[in-house]
Amino acid sequence: MDKLRNINKAILLPLLAAIAAFIKQSFGYEISDELLNTIADISLFIVMIIGLFIKPTKPKDESSSGETYH
């Protein structure tokens, strides 16, 4: 469970969008409605591009916040 704390959770959605777009393109999945297919492609690529600009952050250490509760 400690490994999950080291993952930047904000990057998971863009990463999953990139994987979905890759699978959609490589296996040729198409949505039957042309407009809906275009909207799906554009939204996946927008989420991927946003993921490129997310700055990785380190999780704050709860024990070093200065507040202690007894």
CB 15 within 8 A of CB 50: no
Cβ–Cβ contacts within 10 Å for residue 44, how many? 20
Rounded to a whole number of angstroms, the CA Rg of the chain reads 18
- Which runs of consecutive H residues, i.e. helices, occur in 1-70? 2-5, 12-27, 34-52
Q: How far apart are CA 62 and CA 68, in angstroms?
A: 10
Domain ranges of the chain: 30-55
Residue-wise pLDDT for 18-30, tens only, equals 888 888 888 888 7
CB-CB contact of 50 with 14 (8 Å): yes
Task: Encode pLDDT of 23-68 as tens digits.
Answer: 888 888 877 888 988 888 899 889 888 888 877 666 566 555 555 5
pTM for the structure as a whole = 0.60
